Structure 1
Amino acid sequence: MEAKLISQIRCPAAPSSRQVCKQRCRPVYAVLARPAENLRLKLKPADNKAATSVYNDNWFDLLAINYLSQSVQAATGVKSMLSGYDGLVETAAMVSKKFDTKTQQELVIQALDRAIPKLILDMIRTLLPQSQFTREYFAAFTTVFFAWLMGPSEVRESELKGRREKNVVYVKKCRFLEQSSCVGMCTNLCKIPSQTFIKDALGMPVSMVPNFDDMSCEMIFGQDPPAPSDDPALNQPCYKLCRANQMHTVKSSG
């Protein structure tokens, strides 16, 4: 029913009271509207791209992204014509299709060795032996200088050896996982090689715990990762919209 405006006068109908009615009576307005359920807004389903995080990379971010991408390409022999983060993800996708999981992990470690001079790694390992200070320093450093790679993050606490430490990096929504939409690329090209590289090169054990439901992730410095057979992340089925569209476990290829 269309909305209509109805005017009614509430006063005695007798002619003798018309004069009084004009002074005392006021019009009463009523609005007839459509039923409430028919007034609900029909919103279009959100576009997948609209829900994707948008990053405004500055010159430093782009420099770091392209440098890492070139290091991975040099170590793996693949070539991407794209630049920026799209080029990094495309490079990772080509590596995941071309090599088995073990080779993928080894190639990423080689790329990280290329990207960071050994002299700097040795100096960090010597000056910052494992301690509460070092663990908390690594966590704070990661949130500040690696947002271009992982996305916004913050430092959180955990209990280690019976005491509370600020040794956890909580990534609110991993940029690499979100843009690749692939569990296998996350585990084989990020989680496992990063854990291995940081421990071997810097002497710092770290456990990366991705949450594939909300795409968040925790990096816990000072904690060894679980064995592959006990790590839930390595037995996680991939997303339905995964670009590789298959299961990604330790034994399967990404």
Structure 2
Amino acid sequence: MALLLQVPPPTNVAFSYSSSPQSIPRARRVRCRVSDSSEVKFDEGASKSEYKPGVLDDFFMHSFRNKLVEEVGSDSEKPGYVGLIELVKLLLLKGRTRSETNDAAVRILKSLFPPLILELYKLLIAPIAQGKLAALMVARVTVLTCQWLMGPCKVNIIDLPNGESWDSGVFVEKCQYLEESKCVGVCIHTCKLPTQTFFKDYMGVPLLMEPNFKDHSCQFKFGVAPPEDDGNVSEPCLETCSIAGRRKLNPGECPMA
């Protein structure tokens, strides 16, 4: 869910505890495209980045967690990032449909921004140079503000469908959001799809996210629209998925995707 450009000061949240998670109907499955390394250009001589937490990271996490609590209706007893991921799983389990989960995640992203910021960005910045300036800007701000959520990442050059190349990509070397949640469904329905919708609909920037479930990397392509079949996934569940372990499923089947 990579996604914080500017966040308002944290506010006090009144917690109300929700009822037990509802059962989730199965969803239609189509293919989710995984990153094709041939489409992304890297500086082979560059050393692997190592992220050191900054002074604002606790603030970002606190703000994001407060919004999750408001949406879920209860808080986790676990502290830090582990508690955050537990809330994300509750968000996924709470939704009766995939659409409801995606809508809830988009609401959380919108709530992290001050009033009018999104509208002004979409109106004034997104149209410049056919969207290139807006795409370059959000790529850089994502790297500056979201490594606490995703782990080490860097801006890279991506190829657009029209043949142009922009340095509006963000490559996440090993996404800790996916590693900690250990769930394909959490990745797709609380991060990938809602984030793509948020940037396109509320900031005017097309975005394609391509998670790689084998090495846990993820390629962001700001300025590239998702394909039509980018809805749900038929990826197998991760072997370490705690949600799958509690359900009787066919081998390799992800219950949340």
Tell me the C-alpha RMSD between the 2 structures: 2.1
Higher relative contact order (CA 8 A, sep 6+): 2
Structure 2 CA distance for aligned equivalents of residues 121 and 175 of structure 1: 27
Determine the structure 2 residue equivalent to 1:178: 179
Determine the structure 1 residue equivalent to 2:147: 147
Determine the structure 1 residue equivalent to 2:39: none
Structure 2 CA distance for aligned equivalents of residues 236 and 176 of structure 1: 17
**More helix by percentage:** 1
Determine the structure 2 residue equivalent to 1:18: none
Structure 2 vs 1, CA of residues 178 and 55 (structure 1 numbering), >3 Å: closer, same or farther?
Answer: farther
Determine the structure 2 residue equivalent to 1:75: 71
Structure 1 CA distance for aligned equivalents of residues 138 and 68 of structure 2: 23
Determine the structure 1 residue equivalent to 2:56: 60
Structure 1 CA distance for aligned equivalents of residues 121 and 74 of structure 2: 31
Structure 1 CA distance for aligned equivalents of residues 51 and 74 of structure 2: 25
Q: Following TM superposition, by how much is the alpha carbon of 1:140 offset from its aligned partner in structure 2, in angstroms?
A: 1.6
Tell me if 1:116 matches 2:117: no
Determine the structure 2 residue equivalent to 1:91: 87
SS of equivalent to 2:243: coil
Deviates more, 1:188-197 or 1:72-81: 72-81
Structure 2 CA distance for aligned equivalents of residues 192 and 185 of structure 1: 10
Q: 1:157·1:167 contact (CA, 8 Å) conserved in 2?
A: yes
Q: Deviations over 1:23-52 (max 9, x none)?
A: xxxxxxxxxxxxxxxxxxxxxxxxxxxxxx
Determine the structure 1 residue equivalent to 2:198: 197
Q: 2:186·2:256 contact (CA, 8 Å) conserved in 1?
A: no
SS of equivalent to 1:62: helix
**More strand by percentage:** 1
* AA aligned opposite 2:217: S
Structure 1 CA distance for aligned equivalents of residues 159 and 94 of structure 2: 40
Q: Deviations over 1:162-213 (max 9, x none)?
A: 2211111110011100111111000011001111111111011101000000
Q: Deviations over 1:203-237 (max 9, x none)?
A: 1110100000000001101111122xx34972111
Deviates more, 1:60-69 or 1:120-129: 120-129
Q: Following TM superposition, by how much is the alpha carbon of 1:90 offset from its aligned partner in structure 2, in angstroms?
A: 0.9
Deviates more, 1:165-174 or 1:139-148: 139-148
TM-score, normalised to structure 1's length?
0.71
Q: Deviations over 1:89-109 (max 9, x none)?
A: 010112222323222111111
Structure 2 vs 1, CA of residues 198 and 232 (structure 1 numbering), >3 Å: closer, same or farther?
Answer: closer
Q: 2:72·2:94 contact (CA, 8 Å) conserved in 1?
A: no
Structure 1 CA distance for aligned equivalents of residues 138 and 112 of structure 2: 18
Q: Which runs of 5+ in 2 are unaligned?
A: 1-49
Q: 2:151·2:174 contact (CA, 8 Å) conserved in 1?
A: yes
SS of equivalent to 1:214: coil
Q: Which runs of 5+ in 1 are unaligned?
A: 1-53
Structure 2 CA distance for aligned equivalents of residues 218 and 232 of structure 1: 17
* AA aligned opposite 1:136: L
Determine the structure 1 residue equivalent to 2:239: 240
Instruction: Work out the number of aligned pairs and report it.
Output: 196
Q: 1:66·1:85 contact (CA, 8 Å) conserved in 2?
A: no
* AA aligned opposite 1:238: C
Structure 2 vs 1, CA of residues 233 and 57 (structure 1 numbering), >3 Å: closer, same or farther?
Answer: farther
Which of structures 1 and 2 has the bigger CA Rg? 1
Structure 2 vs 1, CA of residues 55 and 98 (structure 1 numbering), >3 Å: closer, same or farther?
Answer: farther
* AA aligned opposite 1:73: V
Determine the structure 2 residue equivalent to 1:48: none
Q: Deviations over 1:55-96 (max 9, x none)?
A: 864441111012101101102213212332122101011222
Structure 2 CA distance for aligned equivalents of residues 241 and 128 of structure 1: 42
Identity %: 32
Q: Deviations over 1:98-124 (max 9, x none)?
A: 323222111111111222123111122
Tell me if 1:127 matches 2:124: yes
Q: 1:168·1:218 contact (CA, 8 Å) conserved in 2?
A: yes
